A and B are shown apart, each in its own frame.
Chain A
Amino acid sequence: MLNLKAQKILLIEDYSAMRMSIKKMLFLADAELIIEAADAKIALAAMEKQKFDIILCDYNLGQGKSGQQLLEEAKHRKLLPVTTIFIMITAEQTQSMVLSAMENKPDEYLTKPFNAQQLLTRIEKQILRKAYFIDIDQAIYKDNLPLAIAHCEKLLDQQETRMRTQLLKIGAELAINVGDFRTATHYYQEVLDQRELAWARLGIGIIAFLQNNFSDAIQTFKTVIQQAPMMMETYDWLTKAYEATEKNYDAQETLNQAVELSPQAILRQQKLAILAEQAGDDASAKKAFKAAIKLGKFSVHKSCRDFSGLAKVYAKAKDTNDTKEALKLIKTMREEFSRHPEAELRAAHLEIGIHLKQNNKELADQAYAKIQQIIEKNHDMPKDLLLDIAEIHLLYGNIDAGDKLIEDLIGNYVDDENFINEVLRRYKKANTNQSFAEDVFKRTKEELIKINNQGVNLFKQGNISAAFELLEAAYIKMPNNKIIIMNLAKILMRDIKASGITNDKLSKINTYLTKAATLGISQDKTGTIKMELAKLISTQTIL
């Protein structure tokens, strides 16, 4: 019989009668350590202070964050240890609510009304489940994928039929994350031989995508959507595949379908807004930005980009009422994001456009002065914003500053074809007929090829340290260039393998791997290095 005497439980429910009712159910299993929270704020504060074994959270929490937003934030801020069981409670069975409740993958979800036995059965099931997977989960949490894989293989070897499919799923995901597509395919195929399950088919599509086999991936994702239209991840993958093949209209349509089904997911609304913005589809952009702003109110993913994006759409329109609306949004943005350099830059950039349109040169000049002042102290800004600012520099005849920004952007994002095209197009428009951007682009590409060739040659000649120095110099010049980062990590790994690991090298390679992750390089590309590194660390002593 389940006993909850030693379990720390957090009960999050805004309705006090319901809270009381659930507490009584938990008392039946001798629960003693129950902390109650009437809203998400109180709950998050409690989670900051201590770890809970079980969290029961109502989806609907009245004003403020919803249960889904709470789970999203807890995961984002790493407030949820792997040992914690998170159970989402929902009252409604409407599709959008259920899908929304599932977006951040709670361990379990329970529909009202339920009785004590139902609640306790679910808790017991999850306790057993957590216990079975704990070694794998702990290793994943510590980002030690090789160890997680070893634990997974050990469990698979035990030939427990009841757990096999779940283990294959976890094993395949782990294999993908270290770039071992053969094992991943093998695991998914074993599941599919048994039964055509949508998540396994999705996995096959993801592998095709990661191997740049986009047409197969698209075909597979489409099949999966037909088979399981409620599995929201598939839409995100299909969107990525369309973007990779420069079918931006199809990407936008796919996300449109997804937000129709599950309108509460903020990241998807934000992505849709930007796709629509790029396509010049103002009506869709407006709708998606508005939705993102609304969802962002209590979300950890709240972003000033949504406010500036919407304001930009309004500012574009000819109607004076729309201009007023844009100015109102800029004001709101400043209130919501005070002392936030990115928001201030976005606000000032928008103001320049509006003031110039109204022939108010003095106010526009003031806004430009503000931009110059802020950008001097804050270089690390999103690329779309930097491009906007470069454009403004050029507009004000501040060619040197504009060119400098453009040069940095091209250096950092030279391999992002979509973005580079945008940079070239807008540079030409802003600085009539000047070929500076195109020259830089050409030069950067040549330089990169040269550095890489030299690096490879030095490397082949066994001069690893010279190869490393060459790339490190390039890294300082183009800190956001994905190819340089990856090559640096690879060379350093070879070096470590050849001449042993030191604390200095270890910290350097970890810096590169972290940077690769923030640049959006997918895990499978860095996975091999991580695997090798983990194996070395476990067998070698650090010098």
Chain B
Amino acid sequence: MNPSATLNFPAILAFSVHEMKNSLSIINEMIQQFTKNNTTNDNKELKQLEFEANRMNNNLMQLLILYKIDEAQFSPSVDEYLAIDILNEVVAQQASLFAINGLTLTLACPDDLLCYCDSSLISNAICTVVNNSQHYARTQVLLSASVTDDGYVNFSVEDDGAGYPKHFLHADAVDNTSINLNTGSTGLGLFFVATIAKMHINGGKKGFIKLSNQCPLGGAKFSLFLP
């Protein structure tokens, strides 16, 4: 018998992710404790550690979801949410990291803006982008939500870094198929976010993302549009 026939890969994957997530919980907690007890010293290593822990968590989550999408076992659970609740979730996840890095995270969102989406997916996706942006931002990141003239809800993440490299800005760079996974975490993150965006459909309209360097803060601007 083929030995692989007895392996239930999804179960193994799920089990491993479960174990890793438990470990990550503890690691994150320890980082918080170290940070608190260690206010006088330069926290460069701790910064790096928390950043990497967050990235691992995001990657694990993306791995699972992309696996399910690939197996056609996944569809978003869409309901009505307040945009501000989704962004507050992102701020809650990222705030301590920004504090350690000495960066400012600003939130601009009307408190009655409603949007229709799978909220945990969307907040995870925005977290991925924000987590990356603080790697490139010099002093600040702006997180915002608004509604466009044609009825899309637009979530944006802007920073004051050097902006996206040119090949990212190419018209179809955000098409799932052409994102180059070799560009590292940013590439996989965007691939994930673009995939999630496309799964949000309303009538004939589909969600999408847009990257640009036309940003009032002078750096990169990521936009997610949900129909």
A197 touches B29 (CB 8 A): no
Q: Which residue of A lies closest to B64 (CB)?
A: A93
A95 touches B68 (CB 8 A): yes
A195 touches B80 (CB 8 A): yes
B14 touches A94 (CB 8 A): yes
A199 touches B79 (CB 8 A): yes
The smallest beta-carbon distance between A177 and chain B, in angstroms, is 22
Q: Which residues of A contact B22 (CB under 8 A)?
A: 15, 18, 91, 112
Pick the residue among A113, A114, A161, A228 that contacts B77 (CB under 8 A): A228
Cβ proximity bits B86-107 to A, threshold 8 Å, 1 near / 0 not? 0011011101100000000000
Cβ proximity bits B1-39 to A, threshold 8 Å, 1 near / 0 not? 000000000100010011001101111110010000000
Q: Which residue of B lies closest to A93 (CB)?
A: B64
A17 interface residue (CB < 8 Å to B): yes
A21 touches B92 (CB 8 A): no
Q: Which residue of B lies closest to A21 (CB)?
A: B29
Pick the residue among A17, A112, A121, A230 that contacts B92 (CB under 8 A): A121
Cβ proximity bits A73-114 to B, threshold 8 Å, 1 near / 0 not? 000000000000000000111110100000000000001111
B95 touches A92 (CB 8 A): no
Pick the residue among B21, B68, B120 that contacts A91 (CB under 8 A): B21
Q: Which residues of B contact A210 (CB under 8 A)?
A: none
A21 touches B80 (CB 8 A): no
C-alpha spacing A271/B92, complex, angstroms: 42
A228 touches B26 (CB 8 A): no
Cβ proximity bits A168-208 to B, threshold 8 Å, 1 near / 0 not? 00000000000000000000000000111111000000000
The smallest beta-carbon distance between B8 and chain A, in angstroms, is 12
A118 touches B89 (CB 8 A): yes
Q: Which residue of B lies closest to A102 (CB)?
A: B77
C-alpha spacing A331/B85, complex, angstroms: 55
B73 interface residue (CB < 8 Å to A): yes
The smallest beta-carbon distance between A418 and chain B, in angstroms, is 34
Which residues of B107-161 have CB atoms within 8 Å of chain A's CB atoms? Answer: 111-112, 114, 116, 120
B82 interface residue (CB < 8 Å to A): yes
The smallest beta-carbon distance between A473 and chain B, in angstroms, is 52
Q: Known contacts A91-B18, A93-B61, A115-B96; is A162 also within 8 Å of B75 by CB? A: no
Q: Which residues of B contact A162 (CB under 8 A)?
A: 82, 111-112, 114
Q: By CB atoms of chain B within 10 A, which of A93, A120, A198, A230 has the most?
A: A93
Pick the residue among A15, A111, A113, A120 that contacts B28 (CB under 8 A): A113
Q: Which residue of A lies closest to B77 (CB)?
A: A230
Which residues of A33-74 have CB atoms within 8 Å of chain B's CB atoms? Answer: 60
A428 interface residue (CB < 8 Å to B): no
Q: Which residue of B lies closest to A199 (CB)?
A: B79
C-alpha spacing A93/B66, complex, angstroms: 12
A198 touches B25 (CB 8 A): no
B57 interface residue (CB < 8 Å to A): yes
B61 touches A121 (CB 8 A): no
B79 touches A117 (CB 8 A): no
C-alpha spacing A60/B21, complex, angstroms: 13
B78 interface residue (CB < 8 Å to A): yes
A18 touches B75 (CB 8 A): no
Q: Which residues of A contact B183 (CB under 8 A)?
A: none
Pick the residue among A17, A60, A92, A113 that contacts B57 (CB under 8 A): A113
B177 interface residue (CB < 8 Å to A): no
A95 touches B114 (CB 8 A): no
B18 touches A115 (CB 8 A): no
The smallest beta-carbon distance between B69 and chain A, in angstroms, is 12
B40 interface residue (CB < 8 Å to A): no
A115 touches B32 (CB 8 A): yes
B41 interface residue (CB < 8 Å to A): no
Cβ proximity bits B186-216 to A, threshold 8 Å, 1 near / 0 not? 0000000000000000100000000000000
A229 interface residue (CB < 8 Å to B): yes
A121 touches B80 (CB 8 A): no
Q: Which residue of A lies closest to B84 (CB)?
A: A162
B114 touches A117 (CB 8 A): no
C-alpha spacing A492/B202, complex, angstroms: 51
C-alpha spacing A231/B118, complex, angstroms: 13
C-alpha spacing A115/B82, complex, angstroms: 22
Pick the residue among A93, A117, A121, A198 that contacts B96 (CB under 8 A): A117
Which residues of A1-46 have CB atoms within 8 Å of chain B's CB atoms? Answer: 15, 17-18, 21, 24
A115 touches B28 (CB 8 A): yes
Q: Which residues of B contact A111 (CB under 8 A)?
A: 21, 120
C-alpha spacing A196/B85, complex, angstroms: 21
Pick the residue among B73, B82, B89 that contacts A95 (CB under 8 A): B73
The smallest beta-carbon distance between A514 and chain B, in angstroms, is 35
Q: Which residues of B contact A199 (CB under 8 A)?
A: 79
C-alpha spacing A169/B54, complex, angstroms: 36
A112 touches B25 (CB 8 A): yes
Q: Which residues of B contact A198 (CB under 8 A)?
A: 77-78
Q: Which residue of B lies closest to A166 (CB)?
A: B80
CB-defined A-B contacts under 8 Å, sample of 5: A113-B24, A113-B27, A117-B92, A228-B78, A230-B77
Residues of chain B touching chain A, judged by Cβ–Cβ distance below 8 Å, are: 10, 14, 17-18, 21-22, 24-29, 32, 53, 57, 61, 64-65, 68, 73-75, 77-80, 82, 85, 88-89, 91-93, 95-96, 111-112, 114, 116, 120, 202
Closest 8 interchain pairs by CB? Answer: A113-B25, A94-B14, A117-B92, A21-B29, A118-B92, A92-B18, A121-B92, A113-B24
Residues of chain A touching chain B, judged by Cβ–Cβ distance below 8 Å, are: 15, 17-18, 21, 24, 60, 91-95, 97, 111-118, 120-121, 125, 161-162, 165, 194-199, 228-231
- List 14 other contacts, CB 8 Å, given A115-B92, A125-B85, A195-B202: A18-B26, A24-B29, A94-B14, A94-B17, A97-B14, A112-B25, A113-B27, A115-B32, A117-B95, A121-B88, A162-B82, A195-B116, A199-B79, A231-B77
